[in-house]
Amino acid sequence: MKKAGLYLFIGGPGTGKSTTLEALKRKGFTCFDEVSREVTLAAQKEGISQLFLEKPLLFSEKLLEGRISQFKKAKKHNGICFIDRGIPDVTAYMDFFNQSYPAYFLEANHKFTYDKVFHFPTWPEIYKQDNERYESIEQAKKIDKQLVKTYESLGYEVIKVPKASIDKRVKFIQKSVDAA
């Protein structure tokens, strides 16, 4: 297994990224959870049910700040780090919802880069809506396409993770990291 690197998980909502990340944690890997749920839950405690829908720029600013902080922590780690969603996800979502944002959002996409990007494609059979995941499956598919478009436009090779059991997904990711 490669000694160090930042390995990112992307994909629309409800595609198994977090579940796969949990399996990698159980194997002893350093993993960083999705930041948006923390931002959403904090806003809900303040009485805002969906901060992204009500104040998309404020939500995205908080999300970008959290993801940059997370990136810096991961970068200090001397081994393999798996990260659930990355900095460019912020602009991908803003673009998807036709929201404007400051130039520093795009600058962050270029300043903070990842070693490999693993794409978890939309998988209707496992998709579930919940308190923080408000998107319909149709929206999830469109968001997924926007995410891939954003990362590819930044020059990333987006590695498609197969729709398979968690164990098979973990093995696929480990094999891809070994090949790095």
Locate the domains of the chain by residue range: 5-178
**Residue matched to tokens 């579930």:** 128
Least confident of 47-61, 81-95, 111-125: 47-61
Please give the pLDDT value at position 42.
Answer: 82
Per-residue pLDDT reduced to its tens digit, 58-109: 889 989 999 999 999 999 988 899 999 999 999 999 999 898 999 999 999 9
Mean pLDDT across 47-67: 83
The three-point CA angle 112-117-121 to 5° equals: 135
- What CATH number has the domain spanning 5-178? 3.40.50.300
Question: Does 134 have pLDDT greater than 70?
Answer: no
Give the whole-angstrom CA distance, residue 66 versus residue 160.
Answer: 26
Please give the pLDDT value at position 132.
Answer: 53
Residues 87, 72 contacting (CB under 8 angstroms): no
